[in-house]
Structure 1
């Protein structure tokens, strides 16, 4: 029995050890990833983390810790994590796809697709305003009274903007959630159905879901909240559209690779991805597109941290409209995401053909994620 206990303890220690050993060759990608991300595990009490990088179409994976503390199951590249607001980049892609099928125009107004909103203040905004959080001051979250489709519609009918459309950016689940809802509605379908039947399969993402099916439940990690209680995402209006995707490191780095080079995608989906790369509004240190946020590359760490700050997420900021065109100069695209028990980050530079994805089952500070990823991207750029 004592020998069995020793062997079990050894197995658990092996499970939580990083895939990139501390003794990795200096100067290698493995060493850079381990140096940047491994210390975060102890510093922030993170049970498990998956990191993936891509350089010129070649991906590498690094797994740390456990997917669930009670079972000790190790994180793998196939572990499902909640990606939080990184889901917004999928919603933006779906909206671009709806536009490419002719179901919507991003220049149209909400009332065209939800007649109950015709003439309401929200109808002064365009679908592009909804996707860039520039509709006029929609809040981060719906009030608690909004619990279903009728109360959602009534909320938008009664909402009063704090600025005209296109004047301020105020980060909002309600805003991009409405874009996703209207896009799917215009296609005559449910949002989750379009995402899981058209968008995710079209992107070649077999391990990505809005609703995790029974056969994938064993791969679904448990998240851990501030008190280290195991949790998963709570349901809510527009949860699927704003923060509801669950995915793996394998799928997320493939998604990043399709954003780096979408040429191999079906034409409508390729153009949808390209639509999400169009810069729409300049706000502080970054440019807001549909879903993705952009920075001239190379970007200083302090600029990247400012663009991903609490202020940028929680407060309104003035914007300047830009000509709608894809960036020609080297550009870093990024997006953070969090739920109560998970934290995620994705960043890539198409012109350098480099990218990084981090998925964790703990919502730890965004600054730590961005700092680690920034260091890894610098290492990848030297490959």
Structure 2
């Protein structure tokens, strides 16, 4: 199918402006060709235009880079995905002694290890930063016992990054460069801020929903130790697309270099676990690194990413050979993604993406009942209550994350017996927040907010 660049550029410009996104870049693979578009500005304060060669922070899309490195090592026989992590990291320790002995790389890749997500720890700029991070995370409580449920885990991907370092004898940054960036020709993918300065780079923007956001107070406050899980990598949309294309092409780079075997590529896209929260990432399953989609019977895979005011979206429709990457720097980025990709993938790949999450026209008459109470995981405390018969959520940062942001308060509207929609004066942008009640395999009640399992404690 022919990609009409001029028509899509006009539509890209219209949707970006409508959703108050300062700037964005788009890369699309169709019929074996890569098409690149850009719109808006990189920084509303300076007015520098966004261009197709501009770098954005890709956030957790980086987890696909890390997962690909791990799977290369598994292919080479250096790593057994089902052996305990301690087979590679003998000193690996988490807050649960039993889990320390049993957590595997497969569980880390599929977010079923129980390790938590929101543990950011600055261990400096040295090459030992990941080793120090993994050691510092030893006392961080787990979200759930390993294998009992899915809970999105950035800590787990840092452990994977450390495994890459030990098995390659390189830093994660160097292994990424030598094993992926060079063979794929990713000339605009970097991990250190001083490298970003060689290029045009986007600034994140923050602001209330439906308004033009202002530049964030900092470009990126995350430390080097956040690398493998998605805190520091910057790239163009086309570079991210080239990584996805390698997976779409069965593990082969454009020059014919084989980076993964086809069976390994297929294994990464095979469902490892279901996901109770089907709305936060538009997915009901997870593979080895990849988020898996079912678009009304059409399979897909991809990943999202977010940093301070920057948001990225990667989607692949393998049956049509189509892939798309959208990188943005603030505003109603998720609405831009939803509107643009529904049209784009619908036309180019015949995909019917779901409508944005929200409450039904007629709310379901559901009470919280015994689900009211306190839920807690590392850094976050969630309180569920009823106020005048209306379910209510309070989401507060605690412990090491105390003071990160004000507590969020929101009334909830029932979508089903177990799913509620929340909104709180623009705290979630212009989107509805999915709040999902679930029971883990060990019988523990929990609530999912942002794909994180938070167990009930009181």
Q: Verify same fold: TM over 0.5.
A: yes
TM interval, short-chain normalised = 0.7 to 0.9
The aligned residue for residue 320 of structure 1 is none
**Residues 218 and 71 of structure 1, relative CA distance in 2, 3 Å threshold:** farther
Structure 1 residue corresponding to 2:323, chosen from 355, 375, 378: 355
Q: Distance in 2 between matches of 1:117 and 1:250?
A: 36
Partner of 2:205: 224
> Does the CA contact (< 8 Å) of 1:54 and 1:354 recur in 2?
yes
3-state SS in 1 of match to 2:227: helix
* Counterpart contact for 2:28–2:324, Cα < 8 Å: yes
- Deviation of 1:281 after TM superposition, in Å, equals 1.1
Cα distance in 2 between the residues matched to 1:106 and 1:257: 24
Paired residues of 1:96 and 1:275 also in contact (CA < 8 A): no
- 1:203 matched residue in structure 2: 184
Equivalent in the alignment of 2:423: none
The residue aligned with 1:377 is 345
Whole-angstrom CA distance in 2 between matches of 1:246 and 1:259: 20
Pick aligned residue for 1:127 from 98, 105, 111: 105
CA distance in 2, matches of 1:85, 1:215: 18
Aligned twin of 1:78: 53
Q: Structure with the greater relative contact order (CA < 8 A, sep ≥ 6): 1 or 2?
A: 1
1:114 to 64, 79, 89: 89
- Which residue of the partner structure matches residue 194 of structure 1? 175
Partner of 1:312: none
Task: Identify which of 262, 274, 281 aligns with 2:273.
Answer: 281
Structure 1 90/153 Cα, relative in aligned 2: closer, same or farther at 3 Å?
A: closer
Q: Please say if residues 190 and 235 of structure 2, whose CA atoms lie closer than 8 Å, have aligned partners that are also in contact.
A: yes
RMSD over aligned Cα atoms = 2.9
1:295 matched residue in structure 2: 293
Q: 2:145 is matched with which residue?
A: 164
Unaligned runs of 5+ in 2: 208-212, 279-283, 352-458
Task: Give CA-to-partner distance per residue, 1:156-183, whole Å, 9 cap, x none.
Answer: 4334545432221111111122112212
Gaps of 5+ in 1: 1-26, 300-329
The yes-or-no answer on 1:31 pairing with 2:7 is yes
How many Å separate the matches in 2 of 1:357 and 1:150? 32
Alignment equivalent of 1:61, drawn from 36, 43, 54 = 36
Among 129, 139, 147, the residue aligned to 2:116: 139
> 1 CA distance for matches of 2:152 and 2:331?
19
Matched residue, 1:304? none
Cα distance in 2, alignment partners of residues 144 and 77 from structure 1: 33
Q: Is residue 152 from structure 1 mapped to residue 133 from structure 2 by the alignment? A: yes
Question: Normalising by the residue count of structure 2, what TM-score does the alignment of the two structures yield?
Answer: 0.64
- Contact 1:223–1:232 (CA under 8 A) maintained in structure 2: yes
Q: Structure 1 residue 298: deviation in Å? A: 4.1
Structure number with the higher helix fraction is 1
CA distance in 1, matches of 2:6, 2:227: 34
Spell out, residue by residue over 1:335-369, the C-alpha distance to the aligned partner (whole angstroms, 9 max, x if none). Answer: 11111021110101111111111011226453542
- 1:241-296 Cα offsets, whole Å, 9 max, x none, are 01122111221222232222135333343455444323211223422012211123
The residue number in structure 1 matching 2:304 is 336
How many residues were matched structurally? 326
Q: Contact 1:180/1:241 (CA < 8 Å) preserved in 2?
A: yes
Per the normalisation by structure 1, the TM-score is: 0.75
Name the counterpart of 1:20: none
> d(CA) in 1 for partners of 2:300 and 2:331?
23
